[in-house]
Structure 1
Amino acid sequence: AVRAHLRKLKQEGKALLLLDNCPAHSPVENLFSRDGKIKVCYLPKNTTSEIQPLDQGIISVFKQNYRREMIKRMVADNNSVGTSLASLNLKEVCHLGGKAWDAISARCIE
């Protein structure tokens, strides 16, 4: 993806890919380019919210909206929390995420 982005910008040369410390990211030793033109560097722990202000704004609001949608669904199911969560499938999770995103105001995004 980095090379494609560089080609799109009609740029050559080196690139530095900065990643936060999300556990889903591969270890840095697994992320390398054969030609050495793309380097990966992880940001220091506990600095994401300072460096990425979206984590404090949009993402926080999205999480609040998503939790609200989950609670509405569980109340509508009239089942225990465990039963409601166990019955969720990927399509429903995506639908709840879409509803949570749609509830974010344009003002919050600005």
Structure 2
Amino acid sequence: MTSKIWTQILVELNQKLHSQKRKIILFINNASCHKLKEGTQLQNTKIAFLLPIMTSLIQSLDQGIICSFKAHYHQFIIRKHLAAIDQNILAKAFSKTVDILQALHMVMSAWNLVTAQTILNCFRKAKFTLQSDEIDVQESEVIQEDQVSPNAKDLGISAKEFTELISCDQEL
């Protein structure tokens, strides 16, 4: 990410929000790439920077959204790998069968399985709440987490193995 790309993304987002007559606030870390080009005006987008030492403690993505996304993505990979095993394809050969387009489709599908309720819960956990603690989430978006979240039982592994699987790259 660069400041130029970041500014371009925000300007396009701001224009879209303006046409929809919506306003948002973005909570972001203060990475150097998040500086806007001088003179950039965002009427529909307000930016609030998180304190450097607090980012991982209160950032809603770190409160479970990433974990939910990774669990869904890993589920797709494991199911694809199990299908390859059923066809007697070895792990080394399997790793060469997933191309970037397939990976991007799995990323999109995994993200679509992260529910509005999960995101709402993570914002609440990070202490981002409205005074009334009510957020307008359309009924169709609110899906019970256990209806779509992969779990150890679905994958035929222990709870410990499942936890290790979805957190295997947490330190990267």
TM-score (norm 1): 0.57
Residue correspondence of structure 1 range 77-92 to structure 2 within 5 A: 77-78=84-85, 79-92=89-102
Distance 1:32 1:97, change over 3 A: closer
Q: Does 2:56 correspond to 1:49?
A: yes
The residue type paired with residue 59 of structure 2 is: Q
Q: Does 2:30 correspond to 1:18?
A: yes
Identical amino acids, percent of aligned pairs: 24
CA distance in 1, matches of 2:9, 2:105: 31
Distance 1:75 1:5, change over 3 A: closer
Q: Which moved more, 1:89-98 or 1:100-109?
A: 100-109
Residue correspondence of structure 1 range 1-110 to structure 2 within 5 A: 1-2=6-7, 5=10, 18-19=30-31, 43=52, 48-78=55-85, 79-110=89-120
Give aligned pairs, total. Answer: 85
SS in 1 for 2:30: strand
TM-score (norm 2): 0.39
CA shift for structure 1 position 86? 2.1
* Structure 2: gaps spanning 5 or more residues: 1-5, 16-28, 39-51, 121-172
The residue type paired with residue 99 of structure 2 is: N
